Every structure is written in structure tokens, then in C-alpha cells.
Amino acid sequence: MAADVRLKSIYDTLCSVISNLHLQMGILSHEEMYGLLSLLDYTFMKKKDPAFMDLLREWQASKTEPEIYEIIKATLLGIDFNKTESVDKNMEIIRSLLRYNNNLRDD
């Protein structure tokens, strides 16, 4: 029960932080807020897809070229988290972009 409440509390706090980053501080655009909220629901409530989380971690850990970073961000915002095909297809795109980024850095 305690762990369950802790998870719920993290989820609720994150949800309100994301909303306020758009509403109060104007740091996030409307689309960015929607994208992050959907991502939050996808990972927390629907408890799906650890592979997706691993990919996000990989992206955050990598030193991504600015253009590639923006493309990955735009790809993430375009995902329809209610459709498995959309998640799978865009995950593959992000993987390719990260591979391409690593190749660029190796060169």
C-alpha cells in the first residue's frame, strides 16, 4: 500500500509540475505539455513498455547533436500513445536517429 501511494504521489506531482511549466511559467509549449503528460500516463498508469523507457534513458545519456535532439523531440511529441503501431514505429525512428548520432560522433 505504501509503495503504491508513493507511486501515485510521484505521478500526481509530476502531472501538476508539467501543467504548471506551461500554465504558470510558460517554459513548455502547449504541445510539449501534452506530449509529456501523455508520456507520463503511458509509463505510469498503463505500466507498459520498459523498452521505451530504456530508449529514453539512452537518449538522455547520449550527447546528441542539437539538430538530432530536436528531431527526436519532435518524433516523441508526435507519438500517439494509444496506438501500439505508432509507439513501435516512432521508437524505431528514435533508435535509428541515436545510431546515426553515434556514427557521427565516431567519425
Partner 1 sequence: MNMESTDYKNQLIDLESERRVLSAMLHSEEACIEAYNSLRAIDFYSPQHVTIFELTSSLYEREIRPTYVELIKEAHGLGILTSTRDIEDLKYIAQHYIDDGNIKYWIKKVRDKSRLRKFDSFLRKSKQVLEEDLEQDIEQILMTAEEELTNMTALEIDDHVDTPADMARLGYEEVERRFLRYKEIKELHQGVIPLDGLPTGFYNLNKVTLGYKPGDLIILGAQTGHGKTSFALHTANAVAIRNKTNLLYLNTEMSRSQIALRWGSILSGIEHERVRSGEINESELSRILHGYSQLQDSGFYSYPCPNLTPEKTISIARKFKAQKQIDMMIIDYVGRMDKQDPRLQEWQVLEQIVKTQKMLAQNLQIVVMCLVQLNPDGSLQGAKRMKNECDLMLKLSPIPKEEIEESEELKKFDIMPNYAIFIDKNRDGQSGIRIPIFFDLQKQILKDVKRVTI
Cell numbers found for residue 68: 538530432
> Least distance from C-beta 2 to partner 1, angstroms?
11
| Those residues with Cβ within 8 angstroms of residue 19's Cβ, 6 or more apart along the chain or in another chain | 33, 37
Any contact of residue 19 with partner 1 (CB under 8 A)?
yes
CB 94 within 8 A of CB 72: yes
Size, binding site for partner 1 by CB under 8 A: 20
Instruction: CB nearer to partner 1: give 38 or 62.
Output: 38
SS3 41: helix
Q: Which residues in 21-50 contact partner 1 (CB under 8 A)?
A: 23-24, 30, 34, 37-38, 40-41, 45
